[in-house]
Amino acid sequence: MNDRTVTVFGGTGFLGRRVVRHLRKHGFSVQIASRHPDRGHRLFGLDPQIQSVEANIHDERSVADALAGAFGVVNAVSLYVEHGQETFHCVHVESAERVAAQAHRAGVERLAHVSGIGSDAASPSLYIRKRGEGELAVRAAFADATLIRPAVMFGPDDAFLTTNLKLLRRLPIYPMFGRGLTRLQPAYVEDVAEAIARALQRTKMHAITFECGGPRVYSYEELLRAVAHEASLKPMLIPIPFAAWHVLAWFAEMLPNPPVTRNQVELMQVDNVSSPEMRGFGQLEISPHSVEEILQQMS
Ligand SMILES: NC(=O)c1ccc[n+]([C@@H]2O[C@H](COP(=O)([O-])OP(=O)(O)OC[C@H]3O[C@@H](n4cnc5c(N)ncnc54)[C@H](OP(=O)(O)O)[C@@H]3O)[C@@H](O)[C@H]2O)c1
């Protein structure tokens, strides 16, 4: 490992494993910290500059061990459904703060904390509020932390567009969240991973927030139609009130792999678009890929 090692919490996840690859491309060594290091070994076993260690962000000792000697840290840990002691507060606020505080204590020079567009400590949605509180807690513990707020992300193994595409192929009548008016700006997961690697590479660290939204803003209905068009489908899209989705998601969350969750429904009720006054891909000299471009590559 070289002296520019970056510890990636969540480095086995959908975004995290891309972050690992992009960090390597930029010459960093990487230490993947997750509860299942075997996944890291399976993904990156042949690269001697990538190590996988077992770490749980709820545990002070394992966070400290994973950070020892690191130049930078990325927190790309997620929690989409609360279960038992795994709560949004615990993961997105307390443990996010733990990683930031331990990083500061260990003299780590760079911290990129992954949050999400729309994070807001005053939101009525528990999930969105906890993401907002988490950002504040991270900055309080590590003043120069970089906050990365992706829009909803897509890529070959995503849980959003790929799922939508599969469902559009199967269902002749497609139920939309509400009237399909929510505005979305999907970002390609590889572009977000590159943004994180470039943000860590900057020579000076300042408390900067990057909002990573893709090249086009769609209404949810427009996005579904664009995805259907790429697959030569002509689905009938029908509006379903959000109240009905909340009830459905409440039941779905009892399943081991819920097809829809209440926080997904809440997220679909508010626009998810980067604000023009925030820094984003442009400042990192990244031209983000469009949904259509990536779907064409995937087909
Ligand atoms: N996906 C999107 O569209 C999207 C959009 C906006 C923002 N984001 C944000 O981007 C970040 C990454 O999301 P993702 O979709 O890539 O998540 P993901 O695929 O679910 O991956 C989550 C990662 O977190 C690790 N993890 C979970 N609990 C942990 C714990 N207690 N200790 C240590 N590691 C733990 C998991 O590994 P183990 O299970 O092995 O521990 C896994 O590597 C999250 O902050 C998410 O909210 C995602």
Chunked into runs of 10 residues, the chain (299 residues) has average pLDDT values of 87 98 97 95 92 97 97 96 93 98 97 97 95 98 98 93 90 95 98 97 87 98 96 95 96 88 92 96 97 91
Tokens of 291: 């949904």
Quick one: pLDDT at residue 95?
98
217 - beta bridge partners? none
Threshold 0.85, pTM exceeds:
yes
Residues 33, 66 contacting (CB under 8 angstroms): yes
Quick one: pLDDT at residue 272?
96
* Ligand 1: nearest atom to the Cα of 55: 33
Atom 23 of ligand 1, nearest CA residue: 10
Length reported for the chain: 299
Q: How far is the CA of 78 from the centre of ligand 1 (A)?
A: 3
**Residue of 52, 78, 79 to test ligand 1 pocket, by largest number of atoms within 8 Å of CB:** 78
Quick one: pLDDT at residue 206?
83
What three-state secondary structure class fits 276?
coil
- Using alpha carbons only, give the angle 91, 157, 11 rounded to the nearest 5 degrees: 40
Q: Is 270 exposed, middle or buried (0-12, 13-18, 19+ CB in 10 A)?
A: middle
Quick one: pLDDT at residue 257?
84
**Residue of 7, 34, 53, 162 to test ligand 1 pocket, by largest number of atoms within 8 Å of CB:** 34
Residue whose token pair is 């899209």: 237
Atom 8 of ligand 1, nearest CA residue: 116
Q: Which amino acid is at 129?
A: R
Neighbours of 241 (CB within 10 A): 11
